[in-house]
Amino acid sequence: RAYSLVDSSQVSTFLISILLIVYGSFRSLNMDFENQDKEKDNSSAAGSFNGNSTNNSIQTIDSTQALFLPIGASVSLLVMFFFFDSVQVVFTICTAVLATIAFAFLLLPMCQYLTRPCSPQNKISFGCCGRFTAAELLSFSLSVMLVLIWVLTGHWLLMDALAMGLCVAMIAFVRLPSLKVSCLLLSGLLIYDVFWVFFSAYIFNSNVMVKVATQPADNPLDVLSRKLHLGPNVGRDVPRLSLPGKLVFPSSTGSHFSMLGIGDIVMPGLLLCFVLRYDNYKKQANSDSCGAPGPGNISGRMQKVSYFHCTLIGYFVGLLTATVASRIHRAAQPALLYLVPFTLLPLLTMAYLKGDLRRMWSEPFHSKSGSSRFLEV
């Protein structure tokens, strides 16, 4: 019987994942602009644009972290596989707290837009808890409300909303400093994804990645009612929770769900965030040098193609290829097996042709001359 290789649920996954990456990347770039403006206000010395933000809340991954991240992810996966029953409540609570903060970050621009006409942007003091604007308080309150409803209902749409907040926050607050670190990280995660999807069954007699990703956790309200002996009717009718570590969308017939892990969104998203920041850095550098032309062996049309658009198209093609492969083989596929080559290879090729590969490979946002600022003073 003929069937469609891509159904409505997978199209929804495509669109949402691409929107999350684009939105998270532009939120990250906007944070750079805000930090740049603050630096200009706090310092009289003029400096060139630095893509590495000085914001303490932003984490930049170095080469060592990129190499050991797949090992740490493997250890976490094994802990969840062997000791899920013991750690599921703690893991659920930690995930809910992180999802609350991330979803509040996702809602913050909307809340700032809503509160701007009716309240000043002055911060309200809450003692040792800190100072917050009205928009921050509104976004956090809405996020807490959504998490509570998710705990009570376990609805997949609310879980998706929390997963979207996690994706955007991770893309915005985690940075890749260079193309070398990007290649190390994505190559290591490709091996990690392929091993745990394709080869873990030969060692553990089960597909570790799929089992951990699809295993529901006990609801904390149910566990609390049993621990406190609150009675059979208190907290016992709440559903088990599928944790927001993935995006799920039901098919049009409701017979199955299409699933995409947030790692398959965040990790390529970090690469796209890096190239977007580099595109902006290069644009500013060219404007400072009065529009100096690129290498002579590259046409002007090629020079106008941005790295961000090239890598985003590669991500879409890789996601489409992974979906078709899963439909043909009727089995779960390691998405990074398709996403990493389709994003990295076009990026490396275009960087080589444009003559930017050497600059992008190692710390492209650092100023080459460390003494220029002191000379200007």
Task: Enumerate the active-site residues.
Answer: 193, 264
Quick one: DSSP state of residue 262? T
Residue given tokens 């400072």 in the structure block? 288
Collapse the DSSP code of 278 into the 3-class scheme (helix H, G, I; strand E, B; otherwise coil) and give the result. helix
d(CA 149, CA 233): 19
The DSSP H or E segment spanning 124 is strand 124-125
User: Helix/strand/coil (H, E, C) string of 201-227?
Assistant: HHHHCCCHHHHHHHCCECCHHHHHHHH
d(CA 184, CA 189): 9
- Which pair of structure tokens corresponds to residue 357? 């590969």
Which amino acid type is present at position 102? A
- Which pair of structure tokens corresponds to residue 108? 């913050």
Angle between helices 63-82 and 179-194 (to 10 degrees): 20
**Nearest C-alpha neighbor of 23 from the set 360, 263, 336, 266:** 266
d(CA 62, CA 64): 6
Let me know: does 245 contact 76? Beta carbons within 8 Å. Answer: no
**Nearest C-alpha neighbor of 18 from the set 159, 156, 167, 166:** 167
- Dihedrals φ, ψ of 234, to 5°? -105, 110
Residues written for the chain: 377
**Nearest C-alpha neighbor of 193 from the set 267, 103, 304, 141:** 267
Residue given tokens 């149910």 in the structure block? 222
Which amino acid type is present at position 254? G
**Nearest C-alpha neighbor of 308 from the set 271, 264, 354, 337:** 271
